[in-house]
Amino acid sequence: MSAALDPVSVIVAKRDGRELTGGQIAAVVDGYTRGRVADEQMSALLMAILLRGMSRREIVDWTAAMIASGSRLDLSGLRRDGHPLVAVDKHSTGGVGDKITLPLTPLIAACGLAVPQMSGRGLGHTGGTLDKLEAIPGWRADLTADRLLEQLEQVGAVICAATADLAPADRKLYALRDVTGTVPAIPLIASSIMSKKIAEGTSALVLDVKVGSGAFMTTVDDAAELARTMVDLGADAGVRTRALITDMSTPLGRSAGNAVEVAEALEVLAGGGPPDVRDLTLALAEEMLAAAGRADVDPAAVLAGGKAMDAWRALIAAQGGDPAAPLPRARHTRQVDAAASGYLAGLDALAVGHAAWELGAGRAVPGEAVSPVAGVTWHAGVGDRVHAGAPLLTLHTDHPERFERALARLDGAVTITVERPQVPGSRVLGRVE
């Protein structure tokens, strides 16, 4: 790194509220990826970005620098039965009980598209798709790039960990952000997500931007800003991108954990499942099909016809899993009864996520093992009638000593009212294109 582009000058420029040049951004991201910029220097820069923000041009340059740190997949040659396959992907910013990737990916594959769904692991109260799928006996997350392409052509869908050479700068930066209090910075969230998705090589992308107590974005304004930023980044890179802003003030579906969420996803693939999970799956499916130029396909009809379940079984088997194997179950459960009769008016998503984490469903530090059986299920949705003394929640774990900590997290999480609350008709709060 030249003297004109030394790390301190970049830190000072952003600290003082000045825009960074494309050269400064490229040099500092490349330098950090190669170990030439120290953690403490990048930490200072990340905090300056959090406090001072970035212009759209800076975010574009920062994202491009992270993509340039590794390789890019080329999905343009995908074929099935001699016909080109269009690749489309979806990304969620994360929430509690968000198992949508599990039924959505095989559903889109069953609609005739390719879905290279590179997913992550959970950290803290938000669950990770790969952790959930690893509850299935034999299933593996790590695939080579060649195997990924082969499976896309054969099955139409992959759910796997990102390959090591895909935006490696992001892995280093994400780990640093997590321990320096800089995770909530919108420019950094947007560039982290979009660098990986653009490098992934899809032609179309749909974003599910969560907002509420169980999400990273807690206000609709912040969620809309993040969605707009990411949609613009996708458009600038030639990826047809659109976003839904969805409610995460209450947890999604009726379960939060690993095996319990896989079981719920299977209910949706079988034509049932909680209405909010099914509805959001179909809403995102419609957006993905439209973004890929296949708005003529009805995902509800494909789901009802059973083809999505067939695609699920093929996807699981292709990655070493046994789709017929029973899911593991916790050795211990603890029931939480309703304290009063009335209507369930609130179930705090963050509290439920923290309880599932206490039971072993999540990790406190990267690389820590998680329990496939741990989690929380609830037996009523917001607006449902509940009765005093009847089961309301069930806690699942192999470690009964964890129950008390989980129960402490749930203190005050449930609201029961005499009058039935007004229940929104949809989790979708807005749309950005």
**Active-site residue (options: 14, 90, 91, 242):** 91
**Active-site residue (options: 92, 119, 192, 371):** 192
Does the annotation count 387 as an active-site position?
Answer: no
Eight-class DSSP state of 126: B
Distance (Å, rounded) from C-alpha 142 to C-alpha 263?
22
Closest by CA to 323, choosing from 155, 188, 198, 174, is 155
**Active-site residue (options: 61, 89, 98, 170):** 170
**Active-site residue (options: 196, 210, 396, 402):** 196
Residue 59 gets the label, from left (phi > 0), alpha (psi -120 to 50) or beta, of: alpha
Q: Which stretch of DSSP H or E encloses residue 255? A: strand 255-257
| Residues 6+ away with beta carbon under 8 Å from 96 | 125, 126, 127, 214, 248, 251, 252, 256, 349, 350, 352, 353, 356
Three-state DSSP at 319 gives: coil
| Counts for the chain of helices (H) and strands (E), in that order | 16, 15
User: In this structure, are residues 139 and 159 in contact, taking their beta carbons and an 8 Å threshold?
Assistant: no
Residue recorded with tokens 């009964």 = 400
Does the annotation count 192 as an active-site position?
Answer: yes
One-letter amino acid of 139? W
**Active-site residue (options: 177, 197, 210, 242):** 177
DSSP string, 152-178: HHHTSEEEEEPPTTSSHHHHHHHHHHH
Does the annotation count 196 as an active-site position?
Answer: yes
Distance (Å, rounded) from C-alpha 333 to C-alpha 278?
27
User: In this structure, are residues 152 and 158 in contact, taking their beta carbons and an 8 Å threshold?
Assistant: yes
Residue 337 is encoded by which pair of tokens? 């009864």
Residue 213 is encoded by which pair of tokens? 């107590």
Catalytic positions are: 91, 170, 177, 192, 196
